Amino acid sequence: MKHFPKMSIEDAPEDSGRRGFLGVSGLGLAAGILGVGVPIQMTSTRALAQNGGLDGKDGLDVLNDRPINAETPAHLLDDDITPIDRHFVRNNGIAPAETSAEGWTLTVDGLVNEPMEMSIDELRENFEVVTMALTLECGGNGRAFFNPPASGNQWTYGAVACSEWTGVRLRDVLDAAGLQDNVVYTGHYGADAHLSGDPDRSPLSRGVPIEKAMTDNVLIAFEMNGEPLHPLNGAPLRLVVPGWPGSCSQKWLTRIELLDEKHDGTKMAAPSYSVPTYPVAPGTDVPLEDFETIHAMPVKSLITHPQDGAEVGTEIDVRGHAWAGDREVRRMEVSSDYGESWQEAELDDPVNNGAWQNWRTNVTVPQAGYYEIWARATDSEGVMQPHAIRWNPKGYLNNSFHKVSVQAGDA
């Protein structure tokens, strides 16, 4: 572990555009103009992979190819632990061409007593290595269902995953660096490049309040599911900040700065990863000063079986996952009669703090025909998923019921 004298290091230049380049396809732009609030699949994993874009991923739907953003269909998220090839991809810039662990270093500086520069091997050697199942979800997951449409990638349900991450606790590293008394926030920096190619512009630099950074399940990770990180998921080093928008989990991590004020990096300011402080009518133009930064994600659930549109019998095995930001899920229910009645599902405890919870039940429908299965979760503070979500300009935090349709036939 290399220690160096405390020095003043200039903050990474801020993206003056804030919103940056959205990379919307012609189809996506047309949908926005027409006011179509439905998901549009731009291309398939296979088509992009033929150009080397999604090697090691399977079955994902690509929403954008510059930067690469791809979600996982709900039925492909059926595993208790999300396989690497099924983990969604959310990029803001261009991934670095070189992602070898050899020679990669992490700098921890700012308001610390002992600024440090460490290799990945030194992280392994000097801190306890832990493995945890941790849920990551894009803050815009579900954006496709806002009307009028919100700008950005039109995620449906699949920008969420729960893989096993191996690394060291961020808290342990910060303790070793020696936090000064006036630290209130972290700032995170990665090696990805801005879409413009301008080396003085950053695609993303987020941070979290120090209270969140010091929790037990925030990791500096170098493995997922027992293997090196996938290049599109942040190899060789990334943060994993479960329960908060995935943008807090900086990929291709190179530096963590400790600050005495809220971080001002790219996409920390409104409207990025922010929602209005009061309810607004759909389509409202909200002043920037009336936004607040998103912290913990809301309670949510996903049906992973049966697949939407499946042909089933009149007895239907239903299962999925549920999660609730910094809380736990305490109750899981499903309905097959448009919410007239609900039955409780069997709900597992999380395998560790920050993991999603698996659930299952059996639904019996009265006769052959068309049905919708709805799912809703309730968290440890009694907050239940809503039937519909309040609109916001950037299409964040959609945690409305997940619904799948089935055609039931005679057994």
Total number of domains in the chain: 2
Residue 259 sits in the same domain as residue 242: yes
Confidence check: pLDDT of 403 > 60: yes
CA 239/CA 207 separation, integer angstroms? 10
Last residue of a domain, one of 231, 260, 293: 293
CATH number at residue 97: 3.90.420.10
Confidence check: pLDDT of 133 > 50: yes
Per-residue confidence at 367, pLDDT binned at 50, 70, 90?
very high
pLDDT tens track for 42-61: 445 444 543 347 999 999 99
Residue 274 sits in the same domain as residue 314: no
CA 297/CA 139 separation, integer angstroms? 8
Full residue range of the structural domain in which residue 73 is found: 2-293
Residue 282 sits in the same domain as residue 390: no
Residue 260 sits in the same domain as residue 352: no
- Residue 52: the pLDDT is 45
CATH number at residue 308: 2.60.40.650
- Residue 11: the pLDDT is 31
Last residue of a domain, one of 249, 268, 293: 293
Per-residue confidence at 40, pLDDT binned at 50, 70, 90?
very low
Residue 258 sits in the same domain as residue 392: no
pLDDT tens track for 234-253: 999 999 999 999 999 999 99
Last residue of a domain, one of 293, 317, 337: 293
Q: Name the percent of the chain lying above pLDDT 70.
A: 87
Confidence check: pLDDT of 10 > 70: no
Average model confidence (pLDDT) for the chain?
90
Tell me the whole-structure pTM to 2 decimals: 0.88
Residue 350 sits in the same domain as residue 222: no
Do the beta carbons of residue 125 and residue 113 sit within 8 Å? Answer: no
Residue 205 sits in the same domain as residue 306: no
Q: Name the percent of the chain lying above pLDDT 90.
A: 87
Residue 83 sits in the same domain as residue 165: yes
CB atoms within 10 A of CB 35: 10
- Residue 110: the pLDDT is 98
Residue 251 sits in the same domain as residue 395: no
Name every residue whose Cβ is closer than 8 Å to that of residue 91 and which is 6 or more positions away in sequence: 67, 68, 69, 192, 203, 232, 251
Residue 191 sits in the same domain as residue 257: yes
